[in-house]
A and B are shown apart, each in its own frame.
Chain A
Amino acid sequence: MTEAPPASLPYAPLPYSPAPELSGGPVRRWPVVIVGGGPVGLAAAIDCSLHGIPALLFDKDDRVSDGSRAICWAKRTLEIFDRLGVARPVVDRGITWKLGKVFHGDQLIYSFDLLPEEGHKHPAFVNLQQYYVESDLVERARQMPGVETRWQSRVVGLSEDGEGVVLEVESPDGGYSVAADWVIACDGARSPLRDMLGLDFVGKVFQDRFLIADVKMAAAFPTERRFWFDPPFHPGGSALLHRQADDVWRIDLQLGWDADPEEERQPEKVIPRLKAMLGEDAKFELEWVSVYTFQCRRLKRFRHGRVIFAGDSAHQVSPFGARGGNGGVQDVDNLIWKLALVIGGEAPDSLLDSYDEERILAADENILNSTRSTDFITPKGPGAQALRDAVLSLSAEHDFARRTVNSGRLSIPAKLTGCGLQTPDDASWAGGVAPGAPCPDAPIEDALARPAWLLDRLGGAFVLMAREEDLASGNVRDAFPGIRDLAVLGIAEAGEALRSDSGVTDVSGLLTERFALSPGSFYLIRPDQHVAARWRSFDPKKVRQALARAKGLDATHLREIA
């Protein structure tokens, strides 16, 4: 797992300079300190900057992630990356795909299309090596005002002093301490911060081993996810083949619990296995080879006072379904706007408990799906094995069995339905986007008739969305003079005149259809693009109440508004 990285990879050391604290410079107290510069910590730093919060990020290493790690980035992550300003390089360099095929033996039993409909800015999935994604995030973080990144800086101690947190840091030039109001622990699955707080990380280890190889080859395989149960080239095990950027392919081969991990990662073992799969004459180079055992675990709570866990430090999943990194990026999307409101004094600190509620719900969904997939791929005991094999044997003929075949239920965003910040519907809706669900994208045209996307207009702040005519007749733009963080977005039909510069046109009708945006409908949308509330008619009091509720203001505040 830790051979020298190939020279072609973006492994230039990240810049290090001695911390100002070491030369008697001013010791400032940071509103936010982020521990860990993986995808989750870096995304958090960028999002803090977008919300105007200065953030200091520590990482113990001076390089982006090496080895075989995340490759599949889901549509929701790309949408969040777009808000953070890093979607472009990820999508441009990445491999766009949406088709998957599952084989039993050499028979194709099931294929799926993850994004069967048009009218979304981002594809269902992009495959890109984690080191590229991290490089893009590092570059973006460097541009962001108020973000400071300190590489080769390991956090080794943590204490709380009533008002905040003090972190002990070790760097090549010595140790020092830093004070923070809030700490976001993004220090990965082995999280030292978790240990410093004495927190348990409980769950399930799957008794199986997987060979994960990243292989460079000019191959003519299609750009789709291919998964085999019991293929002729690897009898009795499962196999996965998936394309990454630069002609690198991810190959997973199931080895079984009895395999010796040290032996199995030796080229003399690996190359014959790969040749059996790719053909005797296939030309390839090994970029990385590892043998993994997978697990699904999480912290009981993600928020511990002023220390908040996000990403793999909070929850770990097996990779079938690509829910690890994608889930972690959604943690950030959920957390930072809340933290910004709390830091700005606009919301009580209990708003952060909703991060626990919402992201534990999401983590449990990810753990459930990843566990089910791994249990299907790695049946435990003879009974489970026989049942699994029965599903596969029925799948050629029976649709229900094909749908039961589970090679990974790929990451989709959690619907935060029923969580406390959302206001439940007070009228019946035929379709549309229910409170808690993330907004779907749709093509639009801006006031200058330029093509754009709905999600470009949502996010960062609360948005009240309705039809242009309803905004005008309700004098809605004048109804909220005192609420500076509520933007209003008017939607016009094709051909209808816009009544304000901030209005947009639903040229294709897809927006109206996806939101069931009939006359009189209003949506209140959170800074993370999830729906907070919706109504069939406009009532400024209800909007104010829903907004207060979405900010975690308690019953007293709600009564004042009412």
Chain B
Amino acid sequence: MTVGGVNRDDIYEALVGLHHGLDAEQSLLVSNRLILLLAEQIGDRDAVLQAIEAARLPDPVDRKRG
């Protein structure tokens, strides 16, 4: 599906492909490398912080965030 010039299926496929053949530890490393590269590419502090907020898991009842 393409919206505004972005083909999400292409991107999703490439993201999955990045993990191909990796164990959990390697996957974690490659995900984090990607996150850092993307954050740098975006280069907009507020946009990155907004995405971080959107990604945050809901608060467990017993653990306040902060």
Contact = CB atoms under 8 A, between A and B. Distances in A.
Contacts, number: 29
B40 A386 contact: no
Contacts of A383: 28
B29 A390 contact: yes
A391 B29 contact: no
B47 interface: no
Nearest to A400: B40
Chain A CB within 10 Å, residue with most, of B25, B31, B40? B40
A394 B36 contact: yes
A434 to B, nearest CB: 22
A108 interface: no
Contact of A404 (B25, B28, B36): B36
Contacts of B33: 390, 393-394
Contacts of B28: 382-383, 386
A382 B27 CA distance: 13
Nearest to B33: A390
Interface string B17-30: 00000000100110
Interface in B23-52: 25, 28-29, 31-33, 35-37, 40
A389 interface: yes
11 contacts: A382-B28, A386-B29, A386-B31, A386-B32, A389-B29, A389-B32, A390-B32, A390-B33, A398-B37, A398-B40, A400-B36
A555 interface: no
Contacts of A382: 28
B2 to A, nearest CB: 30
Interface string A55-72: 000000000000000000
Interface in A391-450: 391, 393-394, 398, 400-401, 404
A391 B28 CA distance: 12
Contacts of B37: 394, 398
A390 B40 contact: no
Interface in A444-500: none
Contact of A387 (B25, B35, B40): B35
Contacts of B32: 386-387, 389-390
Contacts of A393: 29, 33
A35 B40 CA distance: 49
A383 B36 CA distance: 13
Nearest to A385: B28
A394 B36 CA distance: 9
Interface of B: 25, 28-29, 31-33, 35-37, 40
B18 to A, nearest CB: 13
A526 B40 CA distance: 40
Contacts of A387: 32, 35-36
Contacts of A389: 29, 32
A387 B52 CA distance: 14
A389 B33 CA distance: 9
Chain B CB within 10 Å, residue with most, of A383, A386, A398? A386
Contacts of B31: 386
A388 to B, nearest CB: 9
A109 to B, nearest CB: 14
Chain A CB within 10 Å, residue with most, of B31, B32, B40? B32
Interface string A370-388: 0000000000001100110
Contacts of A398: 37, 40
A381 to B, nearest CB: 12
Contacts of A401: 36
Nearest to B30: A390
A385 to B, nearest CB: 9
Given A383-B28, A400-B36, 15 more contacts: A382-B28, A386-B25, A386-B31, A386-B32, A387-B35, A389-B29, A389-B32, A390-B29, A390-B36, A393-B29, A393-B33, A394-B33, A394-B37, A401-B36, A404-B36
A393 B33 CA distance: 8
A393 B35 CA distance: 13
A398 B37 CA distance: 9
A391 B33 CA distance: 7
Interface string A182-194: 0000000000000
A400 B31 CA distance: 17
A382 B33 CA distance: 15
A402 to B, nearest CB: 12
B12 to A, nearest CB: 21
Contacts of B36: 387, 390-391, 394, 400-401, 404
A157 to B, nearest CB: 38
A386 B35 CA distance: 11
Chain B CB within 10 Å, residue with most, of A382, A390, A400? A390
Nearest to B43: A400
B26 to A, nearest CB: 10
Nearest to B40: A400
A386 to B, nearest CB: 4
A391 B34 CA distance: 10
Chain A CB within 10 Å, residue with most, of B29, B35, B36, B37? B36
A456 B40 CA distance: 43
A434 B31 CA distance: 42
A382 B31 CA distance: 13
A6 B37 CA distance: 51
A382 B40 CA distance: 22
Contacts of A394: 33, 36-37
